[in-house]
């Protein structure tokens, strides 16, 4: 016999998962913010660049899972910025992306 899962049950399960993964999501946004500061100050080290790229990549996936498509797009933009040349414009863009991601995450919480 097959059990049917209702939409409210799916929503409740996603809410529980969101609460469980929110600290990791916030850590990844903080990693992007730190990369932006480093980028503005003197440029990213290879380790910082790798960490920021990994954080952005993981954010892109997880935010999409929770229906935050705009967050996925922003995280992908951040990932591309971390791949590019270090310049003040990139640092400002990354700071803007971080602010938008924080607003999206706050709105979901």
Q: Residue 83 has what pLDDT?
A: 82
Alpha carbon of residue 99 to chain centroid = 11
User: For the chain, how many structural domains are there in total?
Assistant: 1
Mean pLDDT by 10 residues, the chain (109 residues): 77 92 96 91 86 95 93 95 79 94 92
The Cα 94–Cα 109 span in angstroms is: 22
| Domain-located, residue 55 | yes
Q: Residue 21 has what pLDDT?
A: 94
| Domain-located, residue 13 | no
The Cα 98–Cα 29 span in angstroms is: 6
| Domain-located, residue 12 | no
Q: Residue 103 has what pLDDT?
A: 97
* pTM greater than the 0.85 cutoff: yes
Q: Residue 94 has what pLDDT?
A: 93
The closest of 41, 86, 76 to 55, measured between CA atoms, is: 76
| Domain-located, residue 65 | yes
| Domain-located, residue 101 | yes
Residue-number span of the structural domain to which 52 is assigned: 29-108
The Cα 92–Cα 68 span in angstroms is: 23
| Domain-located, residue 53 | yes
């Amino acid at each position: 016999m097959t059990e049917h899962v209702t939409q409210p049950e799916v929503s409740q399960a996603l809410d529980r998962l969101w609460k469980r993964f929110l600290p990791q999501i916030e850590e990844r946004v903080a990693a992007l913010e730190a990369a932006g500061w480093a980028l503005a100050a003197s440029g990213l080290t290879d380790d910082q660049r790798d960490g920021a790229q990994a954080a952005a990549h993981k954010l892109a996936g997880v935010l999409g899972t929770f229906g935050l498509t705009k967050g996925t797009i922003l995280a992908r933009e951040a990932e591309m910025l971390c791949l590019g040349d270090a310049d003040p414009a990139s640092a400002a863009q990354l700071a803007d992306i971080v602010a938008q991601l924080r607003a999206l995450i706050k709105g979901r919480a």
